[in-house]
Amino acid sequence: NELKIILYICYNIIEYDNGEKNMKEKIYVIKNQDSFELEDIFECGQCFRWIKQEDDSYTGVAMGKVINVKQEGNKIYLDNTTKEDFDNIWYDYFDLGRDYESMVNTLKVMDEHLEKATEFGEGIRILKQDGWEMLISFIISANNRIPMIQRAINNLSKNFGTYIGEYKNQEYYAFPTPQQLNKATIEEIRACSTGFRDKYIKSTAQIVNDENIDVLEYRKLPTAECLKELLKFNGVGPKVADCIALFGMQKYDTFPVDVWVKRVMQEFYVEEDLSLTKIRKFGIEKFGDLAGFAQQYLFYYAREFGIGR
């Protein structure tokens, strides 16, 4: 089944640096399906540390690593990594074991709106991101714009995270651990462009650190219990909790409702005066175990086309 999804090849490439020959390991993935498009994956609102480069590749920081991903036709090139990391980190991170083609076929026959949304965002894959990083990232995301979210996360990483190394003349830092972030004062966190969320970030880091909470353990809980635990943190409301659960805890039966999802749901599915809670309930009941995937396709479709404005 895995071979149906992708075929990956690891090879050595020779580079010359001041006359010195260096062997450098690179990887490329050969796709045999359409559900892997860089722009769809990195621009659909699920992640904040992937930055588009001048050559249309994306450089990202995830799982304490720096990696560059570039697409050329049906090949996806992964630079600054190894076959071992691909097997142990990136295969799972990019959710490459899931048959998105079959899943999309299930969604698109539900109604004409999902058919259009899945066709538009057919290259989306929901990344399996770190739960702790998603907890803080989506606290920062509340009432915030993506460039500001990215700036705050990068500032926190640079000031409090572990130095990873340099890639193409730029220094990169891992997202700070709860222990590292707990050492920062509210004032220092605010100086990272976090705005009013500074106290929520400090409170969350302090609780996780002092109570020795392993946020990743929330993945093992049923969705309702996972959300219940997330809602205990200051700055985490229902929508933020759903986002953390979906992108950091792999709870695919959640249905985060933000302004764009509200608009697209009101445009296609529900009455205009329906509350966010009832829209969420409708989405979960309609889309079931695939609610999180349906949300991503609908969100991306609504935002890119300005539906409901």
The string of pLDDT tens digits covering residues 25-71 is: 566 665 555 678 999 999 999 999 999 999 999 999 999 999 999 98
CA 73 remoteness from chain centre:
24
What's the rounded Cα separation, in Å, for the pair 40 and 222? 29
- Would you state the structure tokens that stand for residue 221, as one six-digit string? 């809980």
pLDDT(106) > 70:
yes
> Which range (28-32, 147-151, 213-217, 242-246) has the least confidence?
28-32
Confidence of residue 14 (pLDDT cuts 50, 70, 90): very low
pLDDT of residue 83: 79
Alpha-carbon Rg for the chain, nearest whole angstrom, is 20
Closest alpha carbon to 246 in 174, 205, 178, 296: 296
pLDDT(285) > 60:
yes
What counts of helices (H) and strands (E) characterise the chain? 16, 8
Q: Any residues with CB less than 8 A from the CB of 118 and at least 6 apart, and which?
A: 104, 107, 108, 297
> 164-167, long-range: CB within 8 Å, 24+ apart, which pairs?
164/61, 164/64, 164/65, 164/66, 165/66, 167/59, 167/66, 167/68, 167/80
Judging by DSSP bridges, how do beta strands 58-62 and 20-31 pair with one another? unpaired
Confidence of residue 17 (pLDDT cuts 50, 70, 90): low
Average pLDDT over residues 260-268: 94
The mean pLDDT of the chain is: 90
pLDDT(5) > 60:
no
Report the share of the chain in percent with pLDDT over 70: 89
Asked if 62 contacts 93 with a C-beta cutoff of 8 angstroms, the reply is yes
Confidence of residue 21 (pLDDT cuts 50, 70, 90): low
Confidence of residue 286 (pLDDT cuts 50, 70, 90): very high
Using a 10 angstrom Cβ sphere, with 0-12 exposed, 13-18 middle and 19 or more buried, the burial of residue 262 is buried
Residues 78, 134, 141, 154: what is their CA dihedral angle, to the nearest 10 degrees?
A: -50
- Would you state the structure tokens that stand for residue 1, as one six-digit string? 């089944």
pLDDT of residue 6: 47
pLDDT digits (tens, 9 = 90+) for 136-145: 999 999 989 9
Closest alpha carbon to 235 in 129, 144, 150, 159: 144
